[in-house]
């Protein structure tokens, strides 16, 4: 066992105190064990227990936060959709393109054709962008395979990423993302197929949660409920792409199934928000999709705040509505576009993001939780929301180990 002690730093523990939502501690010390990868002690340096034998690290006066958590991505997918971007700039809507057979289904074609090796090679640079910003946990959804072999391939690639990089990957099965061409006109038959895929993928240990795209261009409330019932019967938690383009009432349905999160929520109704508050469902806000689809309706942040619904912020990294792999940019956009406070934005990529994934062991810095840390050369944690499009020379501890820069790891694996 090796203890590690980080001093010459300040800490935002994200454990809230009265009038201090970020749990700030100046001139702090952080102690962790690199064997079990857990934190042992966090607090003012002056109160550190005496006589510790530990490997010493200096933080050069920077700020330590929990390692960041991207709680909603589709970062394993084949190809890109820049031509569709151009069509949208000429006036076509995201829904028009989807109805004309483009959109998600075009990425399904590319993802089916790609080998696992190709998918991995395409996903790694996106993952590296996140890691270079202090991300230590990333959620990755399937949903561009839409048949059992291609969904399995996508989930396996997502899991394999964690053997190439120091990151914890959580995988979500999103078989009900779009209707694949071979099921055109037969959505119920496709939901039957999704229900058949789920136990098989679950038995392979590939599914941490189950998600559905509930939308006019995707699946109905009743179809969503069929998927949720199967997931719950297997003991799997559910999440929902809800009220992104219209108010389908998905949030209330998800809340009835104790969903971990409802994501997007631009069209969320007051009833939906109240149902989420009662169920303790996290609102995952995705400002990159709002920005990239040039939406004008923002999620009801003031209402969510008033009702005490925890809000997370994530990239939604995907080729159609959010070709973005910067979680720090989401901090800026969450504040500027959605009017989150900087404190709420920081909670959104740490403690509330952990909760959106059902993870009680991270997202805050306190003894017994994972030693996932980001050490930033900044004057105050709010700098992470304030500066955008800039590189921060962040240093990261993941599961108790210092992580080398992603490009160094990439070279080591080349």
Residues 6+ apart with CB under 8 A from 82: none
Tokens of residue 16, six digits: 């809230």
Stretch that binds Fe ion, among 85-93, 100-108, 311-319, 331-339 (CB under 5 A): 311-319
Minimum distance between the CB of residue 73 and ligand DI6, rounded to whole angstroms? 10
Of 335, 333, 338, 365, the residue nearest 351 (C-alpha)? 365
Chain positions 194 to 253 lying near ligand DI6, rule: CB under 6 A, are: 213, 241, 244
Residue found by looking up tokens 């349905």 in the block = 253
Per the CB < 8 A criterion, the answer to whether 11 and 30 are in contact is yes
Minimum distance between the CB of residue 141 and Fe ion, rounded to whole angstroms? 7
Q: Is 346 in the site for ligand DI6 (CB under 6 A)?
A: no
Q: CA-CA distance, 212 to 178, in Å (whole number)?
A: 9
223 or 318: CB nearest ligand DI6: 318
Q: CA-CA distance, 23 to 349, in Å (whole number)?
A: 15
Q: Is 268 in a helix, a strand, or coil? A: coil
Chain positions 267 to 306 lying near ligand DI6, rule: CB under 6 A, are: 289
Q: Is 107 in the site for ligand DI6 (CB under 6 A)?
A: yes
Q: Is 319 in the site for ligand DI6 (CB under 6 A)?
A: yes
- What are the CA-CA distances from residue 150 to residues 127, 138, 164, 317 (Å)? 20, 21, 21, 19
Find how far residue 65's CA is from the centre of its chain: 17
21, 67, 175, 320: residue in contact with ligand DI6 (rule CB under 6 A): 320
Residue found by looking up tokens 């031509």 in the block = 83
Q: CA-CA distance, 242 to 58, in Å (whole number)?
A: 44
10 Å Cβ neighbour count for 119?
A: 25
Q: Is 148 in a helix, a strand, or coil? A: helix
230 or 321: CB nearest ligand DI6: 321
Residue 320: contacted member of Fe ion, ligand DI6, none (CB under 5 to 8 Å, by partner type): ligand DI6
249 or 342: CB nearest ligand DI6: 249
Q: Is 266 in the site for Fe ion (CB under 5 A)?
A: no
320 or 406: CB nearest Fe ion: 320
Burial bucket for residue 302 (CB in 10 Å: 0-12, 13-18, 19+): exposed
316, 343, 344, 372: residue in contact with ligand DI6 (rule CB under 6 A): 316
37 or 79: CB nearest ligand DI6: 79
Residue 321: contacted member of Fe ion, ligand DI6, none (CB under 5 to 8 Å, by partner type): ligand DI6
Find how far residue 37's CA is from the centre of its chain: 22
180 or 400: CB nearest ligand DI6: 180
Tokens of residue 194, six digits: 């999704």
Report the relative pairing of strands 209-213 and 238-242 from DSSP bridges: parallel
318, 347, 396, 398: residue in contact with ligand DI6 (rule CB under 6 A): 318
66 or 145: CB nearest ligand DI6: 145
Minimum distance between the CB of residue 39 and ligand DI6, rounded to whole angstroms? 35
Task: Give me the helices (H) in 100-186, please.
Answer: 104-113, 116-131, 148-164
214 or 399: CB nearest ligand DI6: 214
Residue 223: contacted member of ligand DI6, Fe ion, none (CB under 5 to 8 Å, by partner type): none
Q: Is 104 in the site for ligand DI6 (CB under 6 A)?
A: yes
Instruction: Tell me which DSSP letter residue 383 carries.
Output: H
Q: Is 316 in the site for Fe ion (CB under 5 A)?
A: yes
- What are the CA-CA distances from residue 401 to residues 166, 258, 413 (Å)? 9, 35, 18
Residue 244: contacted member of Fe ion, ligand DI6, none (CB under 5 to 8 Å, by partner type): ligand DI6
263 or 343: CB nearest ligand DI6: 263
How many chain residues interact with Fe ion (CB under 5 A)?
1
Site residues (vs ligand DI6, CB under 6 A): 103-104, 107, 177, 213, 241, 244, 289, 316, 318-321
Site residues (vs Fe ion, CB under 5 A): 316
């Amino acid at each position: 066992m090796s203890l590690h002690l980080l001093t010459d730093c300040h800490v935002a523990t994200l454990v809230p105190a009265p009038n201090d939502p970020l749990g700030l501690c100046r001139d702090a010390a952080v102690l962790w064990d690199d064997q079990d990868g857990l934190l042992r002690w966090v607090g003012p340096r002056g109160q550190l227990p005496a006589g510790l034998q530990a490997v010493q690290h200096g933080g050069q006066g920077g700020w330590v936060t929990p390692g960041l958590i991207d709680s909603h991505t589709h970062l394993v997918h084949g190809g890109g959709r820049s031509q569709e971007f151009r069509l949208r700039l000429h006036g076509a809507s995201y829904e028009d393109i989807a109805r004309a057979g483009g959109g998600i289904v075009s990425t399904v074609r590319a993802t089916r054709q790609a080998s696992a090796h190709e998918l991995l090679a395409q996903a790694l640079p996106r993952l590296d962008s996140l890691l270079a910003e202090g991300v230590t946990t990333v959620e990755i959804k399937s949903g561009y395979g839409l048949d059992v072999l291609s969904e399995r391939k996508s989930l396996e690639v997502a899991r394999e990423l964690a053997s190439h990089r120091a990151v914890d990957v959580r995988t979500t099965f999103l078989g009900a993302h779009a209707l694949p061409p071979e099921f055109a006109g037969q959505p119920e038959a496709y939901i039957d197929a999704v229900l058949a895929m789920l136990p098989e993928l679950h038995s392979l240990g590939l599914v941490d949660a189950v998600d559905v795209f509930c939308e006019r261009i995707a699946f109905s409330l009743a179809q969503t409920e069929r998927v949720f019932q199967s997931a719950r019967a297997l003991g799997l938690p559910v999440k929902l792409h809800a009220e992104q383009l219209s108010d389908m009432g998905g949030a209330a349905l998800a809340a009835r199934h104790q969903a971990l999160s409802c994501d997007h929520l631009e069209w969320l109704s007051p009833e939906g928000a109240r149902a989420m508050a009662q169920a303790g469902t996290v609102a995952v806000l995705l400002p990159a999709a709002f920005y990239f689809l040039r939406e004008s309706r923002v999620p009801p942040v003031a209402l969510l705040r008033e009702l005490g619904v925890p809000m997370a912020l994530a990239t939604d990294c995907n080729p159609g509505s959010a070709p973005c792999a910067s979680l720090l940019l989401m901090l800026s956009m969450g504040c500027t576009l959605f009017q989150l406070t900087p404190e709420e934005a920081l909670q959104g990529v740490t403690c509330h993001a952990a909760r959106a994934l059902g993870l009680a062991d991270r997202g805050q810095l306190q003894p017994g939780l994972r030693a996932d840390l980001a050490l930033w050369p900044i004057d105050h944690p709010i700098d992470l929301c304030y500066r955008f499009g800039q590189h921060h020379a962040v240093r990261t501890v993941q599961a108790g180990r210092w992580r080398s820069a992603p490009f160094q790891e990439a070279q080591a694996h080349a």
